[in-house]
Amino acid sequence: MTDLIVIGAGPAGLMAAEMAAAQGMSVTIADAMPSVGRKFLMAGKSGLNLTKNEDMPAYLAAFGLLPDNLRAILADFGPQAVMRWAEGLDQPLFTGSTGRVFPKAMKASPLLRAWLARLGNAGVTVQTRWRWQGWQGDALAFDTPAGVQMISAKAVVLALGGGSWARLGSDGAWMRHLPDVTAPFAPANMGFMVDWSPHMARHLGAPVKAVAMMAGAVTTRGECIISARGIEGGGIYALSRAMREGAPLVMDLLPDWTLAQVRRALAKPRGKASVTNHLRKVLRLDPVRLALLAEFGLPYPDDLAPLIKALRVLHAGPRPLDEAISTAGGVRLDALTDDLMLRARPGVFCAGEMLDWEAPTGGYLISASMATGRQAGLAAAAYAKSR
């Protein structure tokens, strides 16, 4: 029997293993994939955004409404702690102009190699191609290359990820083992489908800049991308929860202008210029914003200014679950104690994306997964010591 088994080798599971090993526990990590940290590595493909360098109130506000215990867990391992941890692995960091924090190496692989080396030195065992098949009595059952393995442990940390990116290991298959404590998955931090008119073809792949976007009570000045499949990117991800829940997407194409300023500019003589050329000249709208205005605004009303300030962008709903950056749904927070133990299964703790929450992108998702993994690892070690 091992003291602790951690199922899932993403940031939450690796952090849980690190914390428990530091408490003197014997720890085994089991992961279904041939190698560990696959989604973590993919997240770092274009630059590993570890966290957001901002004060704690702003950091916590980005997560929206959360139970007090979860907010405390995030605060205990917030941006500054994440940065110190990475630097402790000899990974120099830098903070970008928007406050996002990256390793100077940019990619995730150097950090992951250093992390795995630290875990190995702490005596942590890693088993790959071990797919969890639930419980048989008090033992955990795994399908492995050597056949079915039955493992007993004093405590368990489940860090199994969400339901997106199945090819990287987050396939949500674990839900069938915890049917009474979970909420159905829904896409989070995802793009939305738009059936573009042919005139939009030349704008595919173009960024939409210098706009404000609103959905429900949320407003962002972030950018988005016009893609062949719809609209996506950081600005859309920030609004994705409200949009998924039915709030319309509205764009202000000139957020630094008042409605009166737009009206005055449009009132200038047009002469023989087309409406599009007039808009380009007097409002200085770029081709992408002009195309969006035509896509969702034609036929233009006589008073065009309100449309420019509040253009409703029609879409056909979220992209499929497996294309989402992360997922809502998973283990309900009310099914967990304050230290993330399943109320229905003493000694079993949950962490990371498998929790029913919606951590935003921009460094929040990774650092929050590590924070919950840290708490689960510490609590599981304390539980194991008490057995």
pLDDT in tens, 261-303: 999 999 999 999 999 999 999 999 999 999 999 999 999 999 9
Q: 């989070």: which residue's tokens?
A: 188
Taking alpha carbons only, the member of 357, 233, 257 closest to residue 308 is 257
Which of the four CATH numbers 3.10.180.10, 3.30.565.10, 3.40.50.1100, 3.50.50.60 does domain 2-186+330-386 have? 3.50.50.60
Instruction: Give the model's pLDDT for residue 41.
Output: 94
- Domain boundaries in the chain? 2-186+330-386, 192-313
Residue 1 pLDDT level (bands cut at 50, 70, 90): confident
Q: Is the pLDDT assigned to residue 128 strictly greater than 80? A: yes
CB-neighbour burial class of residue 301 (10 A; exposed 0-12, middle 13-18, buried 19+): exposed
Query: Looking only at Cα atoms, what is the longest distance across the chain?
Result: 85
Instruction: Give the model's pLDDT for residue 240.
Output: 95
Instruction: Give the model's pLDDT for residue 131.
Output: 97
CB 324 within 8 A of CB 350: no
100-103 vs 93-95, strand pairing mode: antiparallel
Q: What angle (nearest 5°) sits at the alpha carbon of residue 242, between those of residues 238 and 244?
A: 105
Report how far apart, in Å, the C-alpha atoms of 156 and of each of 305, 372, 380 are: 59, 14, 7
pTM for this model (two decimals): 0.93
For residue 126, count other CB atoms closer than 10 A to its CB. 19
pLDDT in tens, 38-54: 999 998 888 999 999 99
CB 240 within 8 A of CB 188: yes
Cis peptide before 299 (omega within 30 of 0): yes
